[in-house]
Amino acid sequence: MNTQSNPPEPSFRESVDMMFNRAVALMDLAPGLEEKIRVCNATYTVRFGVRLRGDIHTFTGYRSVHSEHMEPVKGGLRFAPSVHQDEVEALAALMTYKCALVEAPFGGSKGGLRINPRDWEDHELELITRRFAYELIKRDLINPAQNVPAPDMGTGEREMAWIADQFKRMNTTDINGAACVTGKPTNAGGIAGRVEATGRGVQYALQEFFRHPEDIAMANLSGSLKGKRVIVQGLGNVGYHAAKFLSEEDGSLITGIIERDGALHDERGLNVEAVREWILKHGGVAGYPDANHHMDGGALLEEDCDILIPAALEGVINLSNADRIKAPLIIEAANGPITAGADDILRDNGCVIIPDMYANAGGVTVSYFEWVKNLSHIRFGRMQRRAEESRHQLVIDELERLSADKDLGWELSPNFKDRYLRGAGELELVRSGLDDTMRAAYQAMRQVWHARSDVQDLRTAAYLVSIRKVADSYRAKGL
């Protein structure tokens, strides 16, 4: 996403490197280690043919491994016409820092296939996905112990199920085959809560931010998430779940939704479910009856709001529009939505940015839980749930016995029994693990942000925390 501005906009990968360099300048890494961490270890490019509609079509795909300080390496597979090597490498680098920040024990990787999924029928996409997976599997670029993909833009549960099945066909005796990819449907080895995980993580990140009055004040905001006006770009997997949870559970108002074909705006708050249904049915937001429609969707990024959530693609806030962004708080649900140059401008203008490597880490966190579940071959909570419920039953019995004594004059609140008796199932455990992860990672970042006078922003703080962890892993390996 380039502009005519001067100086020229750096590419996505250059932006990631510039942000990395800004952080390592504040560190005292061993000579040469900085370069070792920054560079991408390897990128594999594959071109393969698939016979479709009577012709052979050639597709180009990539799998990039940024860092193997921990293995397996982890990172999504993106299906989009814009996929190219630099983008995949930038995304792989972000995965390294993201996993380190949230303490998911993986190195960083990413993959992509240059394709517009809308151009193909479902059965054709299956053939293409399986063939791409075959090419990666036979080189161990998909493997439960070495490289574990997940969904990203243009892919979801369906593609992950095809990939897992392809791996099992090629590795019939591998009992851990299902762990070769995460983001699978629950009936094919997936985990409850994975589909919502990245958007849920965005919600937990904002909830944690709003627990710290000092941080809220840095963004010139006050109060809680309730009533905050939120604009979301991209109502796909991440944007939809983030907007849904913020509006339904935290009382925020989704005042703007930006999609490919324009934007919807309503200061009273949009009905996220209704907009999502409209998009699924009509392919875009145009024609949605209950809000103002703007053809120039990007312009809504500049609209007045409290929180801006870019959740579509990279480079959307750049040198051409950064100066006009009014949101005092931006949470990067997408990867790389703010270029390095725009980041400087926004920070100078006092905007607080919750950086991508933290904000969208919910996906990889729950992917980590799914991978563990696959390797342990048992659903989370299966052993404990009923035991927990019977212990709670003891407490309830005792409380009921006491409340039967009218002389004591107290009784159980309505619903207490039901709520207390219910043991945690997989979904509750996944959400609890995700919430804990998002809180702990935010606290690690903000501690650096507030404790060091040379750290002005959360992104630099996030890099400092994660690069330190990667460096420590390399040191432990003797490098």
As annotated, the active-site residues are 110
The span from the CA of 428 to the CA of 449, in Å, is 31
The answer for residues whose C-beta is within 8 angstroms of residue 397's C-beta and 6 or more apart is: none
The answer for residues whose C-beta is within 8 angstroms of residue 148's C-beta and 6 or more apart is: 72, 73, 74, 106, 142, 179, 180, 181, 182, 367, 371
The answer for residues whose C-beta is within 8 angstroms of residue 261's C-beta and 6 or more apart is: 283, 284, 285, 286, 297
Provide the terminal-to-terminal Cα distance of the chain, rounded to the nearest Å: 37
Give the residue carrying structure tokens 């330190």.
Answer: 468
Contact between 177 and ligand NAD per CB under 6 A:
no
Q: Which residues pair with 463 in a beta bridge?
A: none
Query: What mask, x for binding ligand NAD by CB under 6 A, covers residues 192 to 221?
Result: ------x-----------------------
CB of 254 to ligand NAD, least distance (A): 14
The span from the CA of 108 to the CA of 99, in Å, is 7
Please identify, using beta-carbon distances, which residue of 334 and 338 lies nearer to ligand NAD.
Answer: 334
The span from the CA of 364 to the CA of 75, in Å, is 8
Contact between 238 and ligand NAD per CB under 6 A:
yes
Contact between 233 and ligand NAD per CB under 6 A:
yes
Contact between 15 and ligand NAD per CB under 6 A:
no
Please identify, using beta-carbon distances, which residue of 72 and 236 lies nearer to ligand NAD.
Answer: 236
Of the candidates 194, 192, 232, 225, the one whose C-alpha atom is nearest the C-alpha of residue 210 is 225
Contact between 24 and ligand NAD per CB under 6 A:
no
Question: Which window, 43-51, 150-158, 374-382, 440-448, contacts ligand NAD (CB under 6 A)?
Answer: 150-158
CB of 455 to ligand NAD, least distance (A): 24
Helical H segments across 250-306, by residue range: 272-282
Three-state secondary-structure class, residue 108? strand
Contact between 93 and ligand NAD per CB under 6 A:
no
Please identify, using beta-carbon distances, which residue of 149 and 328 lies nearer to ligand NAD.
Answer: 149
Contact 461, 352 (CB under 8 A): no
Q: Output the residue with the shortest Cβ distance to ligand NAD.
A: 236
Contact between 297 and ligand NAD per CB under 6 A:
yes
Q: 392-396 contacts: CB < 8 A, separation 24 or more?
A: 392/420, 392/421, 392/423, 393/421, 395/420, 396/420, 396/421
The span from the CA of 207 to the CA of 240, in Å, is 17
Please identify, using beta-carbon distances, which residue of 179 and 300 lies nearer to ligand NAD.
Answer: 300
Residue from 311, 345, 445, 448 touching ligand NAD (CB under 6 A): that is 311
CB of 319 to ligand NAD, least distance (A): 18
Residue from 260, 391, 422, 475 touching ligand NAD (CB under 6 A): that is 260
Contact between 259 and ligand NAD per CB under 6 A:
yes
Contact between 334 and ligand NAD per CB under 6 A:
yes
Residue type, 301: L
Contact between 178 and ligand NAD per CB under 6 A:
no
- DSSP per-residue codes, 59-90: EEEEEEEEE-SSSSEE--EEEETT--HHHHHH
Residue from 237, 318, 365, 460 touching ligand NAD (CB under 6 A): that is 237
The answer for residues whose C-beta is within 8 angstroms of residue 406's C-beta and 6 or more apart is: none
Question: Which window, 38-46, 163-171, 327-335, 345-353, contacts ligand NAD (CB under 6 A)?
Answer: 327-335
CB of 461 to ligand NAD, least distance (A): 20
Size of the site for ligand NAD (CB under 6 A): 24
Helical H segments across 422-457, by residue range: 426-451
CB of 238 to ligand NAD, least distance (A): 4
Please identify, using beta-carbon distances, which residue of 70 and 197 lies nearer to ligand NAD.
Answer: 197
Residue from 216, 258, 327, 458 touching ligand NAD (CB under 6 A): that is 258
Residues numbered 347-386 forming contacts with ligand NAD, rule: CB under 6 A? 360, 363
Binding site for ligand NAD (CB under 6 A): 151-154, 198, 233-239, 258-260, 297, 311-313, 333-335, 360, 363
